Amino acid sequence: MASGQRRVDIEEVGDVTIARFVDRKILDESNIQIIGNQLFGLIDEDGRGKIILDFTEVEYLSSAALGKLITLDKKAKAAGAKLRLCSIRPEIYEVFAITKLNKLFQIYDNQEKALEGF
Amino acid sequence: MHVLTEQFKLTIPNDTKAGQSVQERIVRRLEELDYPPRDVFGVRLALEEALVNAIKHGNRLDPDKSVRIDCRINAECVRIEIEDQGLGFRPEAVPDPTAENNLERPCGRGIMLMRAFMTLIEYNEIGNRVVLEKRRGQPEPECS
Q: Considering only CA atoms, which of B75, B76, B70 is closest in space to residue B8?
A: B70
Q: In what order do the strands lie in the sheet with A50-54?
A: A8-13, A16-21, A50-54, A82-86, A107-108
The identity of residue B75, as a single letter, is A
H or E stretch covering B131:
strand B129-135
Distance separating alpha carbons of residues B120 and B101, to the nearest angstrom: 28
The H helix count followed by the E strand count for chain A is 5, 7
A63 to B110: CB separation less than 8 angstroms, yes or no? yes
The identity of residue A96, as a single letter, is F
pTM of the model: 0.89
Q: What is the pLDDT of residue B140?
A: 58
Say if A66 is an interface residue toward chain B (CB within 8 Å).
yes
Q: What is the pLDDT of residue A3?
A: 45
Q: What is the mean pLDDT of residues B43-70?
A: 96
B16 to A74: CB separation less than 8 angstroms, yes or no? no
Q: What is the mean pLDDT of residues B71-80?
A: 96
- The stretches of chain B forming alpha helices (DSSP H) are 16-32, 37-52, 110-117
Summary mean pLDDT of chain B = 91
Q: Considering only CA atoms, which of B94, B116, B89, B75 is closest in space to residue A99?
A: B116
Say if A60 is an interface residue toward chain B (CB within 8 Å).
yes
What are the phi and psi torsion angles at A22 (to 5°)? -90, -35
Tell me the chain A residues in contact with residue B51 when contact means C-beta distances shorter than 8 Å.
none
The ipTM of this complex is 0.87
The least confident of A2-11, B40-49, B77-86 is: A2-11
The least confident of A72-76, B87-91, B101-105, B114-118 is: B101-105
Say if A77 is an interface residue toward chain B (CB within 8 Å).
no
Distance separating alpha carbons of residues B144 and B142, to the nearest angstrom: 6
Say if B16 is an interface residue toward chain A (CB within 8 Å).
yes
